[in-house]
Amino acid sequence: MTRRLDVSAINSGFLDSFDFVLTDCDGVLWNGNEVIPGAKETINALQEMGKTVIFVTNNSTKARNEYNKKCEMLGFKASMDKIFPTSYCVAVYLKSIEFRKKVYVFGSTGITGELEKAGIPFLPIGPDTLPEVENWHEWVTKDLKLDPEYT
Q: What is the CATH number of the domain that holds 25?
A: 3.40.50
Kindly state whether residue 21 falls inside one of the protein's structural domains. yes
Catalytic member of 19, 24, 143, 147? 24
Kindly state whether residue 71 falls inside one of the protein's structural domains. yes
Q: What is the pTM of this model?
A: 0.78
Kindly state whether residue 68 falls inside one of the protein's structural domains. yes
Query: Could you give the angle at the alpha carbon of 16 between the alpha carbons of 15 and 19, nearest 5°?
Result: 90
Kindly state whether residue 2 falls inside one of the protein's structural domains. no
Kindly state whether residue 28 falls inside one of the protein's structural domains. yes
- Pairwise CA distance, residues 88 & 112, whole Å: 10
Kindly state whether residue 143 falls inside one of the protein's structural domains. yes
Beta-bridge mates of residue 53: 21
Q: Kindly provide the residue ranges of all beta strands, DSSP E only, lying in the chain, ordered along the sequence.
A: 20-24, 30-31, 34-35, 52-57, 83-85
Catalytic annotation present for 26 = yes
Strand order in the sheet with 52-57: 20-24, 52-57, 83-85
State the pLDDT at residue 22.
Answer: 97
Of 43, 29, 40, 14, residue with least CA distance to 6: 14
Q: Please give the tally of structural domains in the chain.
A: 1
Q: Residue type at 83?
A: I
Exposed e or buried b for every residue in 66-98, given b needs 16+ CB within 10 A? bbbebbeebebebeeebbbbbbbebbeebeeee
Kindly state whether residue 1 falls inside one of the protein's structural domains. no
State the pLDDT at residue 1.
Answer: 55
Catalytic member of 6, 26, 143, 147? 26
Kindly state whether residue 115 falls inside one of the protein's structural domains. yes
Q: What is the pLDDT along the chain (151 residues), one digit of tens a residue?
A: 556 666 676 678 888 889 999 999 999 999 999 999 999 999 999 999 999 999 999 999 999 999 999 999 999 999 999 999 999 999 999 999 999 999 988 888 999 999 999 999 998 886 655 667 677 777 777 766 667 776 5
State the pLDDT at residue 141.
Answer: 77
Catalytic annotation present for 16 = no
User: Is the distance from CB of 87 to CB of 110 less than 8 angstroms?
Assistant: yes
Of 92, 87, 35, residue with least CA distance to 56: 87
Q: Domain span at residue 19? A: 7-150
